[in-house]
Every structure is written in structure tokens, then in C-alpha cells.
Structure 1
Amino acid sequence: MKWVGLKFAKALRIPALILGLTSTAYAQDIPLMQENWLRYKVNGTDIPGLKHSISIRGPDGFWAFTEWRLRATELCFVTVTVNYYIPEIRDRSAVPANVLVKWDRMIENLITHEKKHGQNGFEAAKEVMANKCENAVEITKRWAEKDRLLDQKTRHGVLDGVFLE
């Protein structure tokens, strides 16, 4: 099996396209999608402490990170894997209820925002399939740019409610 791969590092997003050359035939109308939720632990009992922990432990200095990867066979059987990296409080029992309410609201908004990036990966996979894997690299680049513009438009989710105060 020969693999051709291309990765793009765009701020928070790293979409990748991998064309796997196989001889297995599949009937497929839409891409298969797998979502993985990965959590990194943060410490703190108040808003400033939690924000500080996120700034230290977050992926590349961000609060969250979404990575999507497309994989297509020679016959254009497409799968998209989406990995979401989000924070989780290490010891929720040590955090006052009023802080947890704000944290939980922020996490809900963060998940909603990151799912928009995951949906971009799925849309990229659909477009690759619709084009029978022709111009897959260009399609992937275009959707990676849409991810970048989404973060620019929402100030990396702040306008979607991803903040702690």
C-alpha cells in the first residue's frame, strides 16, 4: 500500500488528506466520520486560576484544538477522523458552584464552536467524494482556510461564548 499525505498547519487546525491506494471496493454515498473527544486536565478553583492553567496546558496556547483528517482509497472511499482537544477540570469538587456554572457554560459553547470545525472536515470529505477524489488537495486547502476564517470571524470562539469571566 502506498500513502500520499499532505498536512496543513493553520493556527488551531491541522487538516490532512491521506490517499490510500487499495483495491477494496465499497459502496458509499457519504463519508464515514469518527469523532474523538480528548481532554487535557486543568487546575484551579477560581476563574483566574482556571484561565491560567488553560493558558499553560492548552494545545499551542489555545483553549481547544480540533484536528480533522481525511482518508480516501483509490476508489474514493472517504473517511474523516475528527479529534477534539478540550479542557477538563482535574478536581471539580474543589471548585465553587458559581465558578462551575460559568465553566460549564464556557465548555458547552466551546464544544459547539469546535464542532463547527469538525463539520468543516466532514464537508471537505463530502466535497472530495462528490468530485471522485479529483482535486482533493485543493478542496482540503479550501476547507482549512474556512476553518481559519471561522476562528478569525469568531475571535477563536469568543463571539460564540467561549470565555470565562
Structure 2
Amino acid sequence: MKKNFFDIGVLALGLALGFGGLSTAHAKPKVTETIKTYAVSATSVAGLVQEMNEKGPKGFWAFTDWYVRWTGDCKLSVTVDITLPKHKNPAKMPAEVRTKFDAMLAALTEHERQHGRHGIAAAQEIEAAGCAGGDAILKKYNAIDVKFDKTTDHGRKKGVVLR
């Protein structure tokens, strides 16, 4: 069932092949962020909501996946994949609709990036631990993401609304 709003899902996958004894002075995890978009073209608020409900990733307006990987010698990488709506022709939207859409999109983008920052923090903590206990750290940050969505009402309390 589609929801009228969006949800953020975070999938963290740790590939631990061994545990190293690295110090916190080790290099920072490699971070790769990818922003993907899906097209919307409606020119009314109701049309945009309907289109995002129908076309959004996994039935939501936006979605963030983060993946933390590490090697046996505790080299970490984080991939953050964010999917957001993008209007095909914003100039066709009436000024009032475009203002609302732009404000919602800015808040949505910030909300999604916060989820990505949780993944980066997880990688930094795993690295600081010398890759010991990585799976438990990933579970901790997945729980942080769930709590973040609950406390912000999936971003609605921070401006992710379109009406």
C-alpha cells in the first residue's frame, strides 16, 4: 500500500572478514554519495503528491540506503544512495506551487542526508573500534535511523510537507 508521505529506509550491510587492531589515527572511511532522481511533472500540489506516491522509491517520496563495508585489514567504505523527486520542468509550476515544492524538497534532501550521515558515523565508529563488533554498531545506527524518523515524523516536523 502506498503511503501519503514518504519513509526513509536504511539498509546497512557490513562485510566483516576479520578484525584488525587499527588505531583511531587510521584514515577516514571512503565515502561515496550518489543522488538519484525520479521525474515528476505535475503542476498542482495534489498532482505532485499523487505522482510522488506512485513513482517514489519503495512507495515513498524519497529513500536512502547506506552500506558500510570493511575488509579484513579494517579498510572501510560507505556508500550512501539517496533517491529524490525532481521536477521535469519547474518553470511550468505556478509560483506558489513551485515555492512549496522547493521548500519541501530542501527539507526532504536534508532529512535524507541525515540518514546518510548516520551511515558515515557508523563507519567511523567501526573504524575506531578496529572493526571489532561491527555488526552490533550497524544495528545501533539502524536503530538511530528508526528513532530519527519517529522523532521527526519522517521529516514532516522539519518541513517535509506538501499541501
| TM score, norm. by length of structure 1 | 0.86
Identity of aligned residues (%): 34
**Cα RMSD, aligned residues only:** 1.7
Aligned partner of 2:144 in structure 1 is 146
Tell me the amino acid that sits aligned with residue 145 of structure 1.
A
Q: Structure 2: where are the runs of 5+ without partners?
A: 1-6, 19-24
| Structure 1 Cα separation of the partners of residues 17 and 47 of structure 2 | 45
CA distance in 2, matches of 1:34, 1:92: 28
SS in 2 for 1:83: strand
Counterpart in 2 of 1:24? Answer: none
The reply on whether 1:78 has 2:67 as its aligned counterpart is no
- Per residue, is there more strand in 1 or in 2? 1
Does the CA contact (< 8 Å) of 2:8 and 2:63 recur in 1? no
Residue 44 of structure 1 is matched in structure 2 by 42
- Which of 63-72 and 91-100 deviates more? 91-100
Paired position in structure 2 for 1:136: 134
Q: Give me the whole-angstrom Cα distance separating, in 2, the residues matched to 1:14 and 1:78.
A: 16
Judge conservation of contact 2:38–2:85 (CA < 8 Å) in 1. Answer: yes
Q: Distance in 2 between matches of 1:90 and 1:11?
A: 23
Shift of 1:11: 6.1
What 5-or-longer segments of structure 1 have no aligned partner? 1-9, 22-26
Query: In the alignment, what sits opposite 1:19?
Result: 16
Deviations, residues 61-107 of structure 1 (Å, cap 9, x unaligned): 21110110011111101110100000011222321121111111111
Higher RCO (Cα < 8 Å, 6 or more apart): 2
Secondary structure at the counterpart of residue 138 of structure 1: helix
**What whole-Å deviation, never above 9, does each CA across 1:23-76 have from its counterpart, x for those lacking one?**
xxxx84321111111001113110000000000011122111011001111110
- Structure-2-length-normalised TM-score: 0.87
Q: Which amino acid aligns with 2:77?
A: T
Aligned length: 151
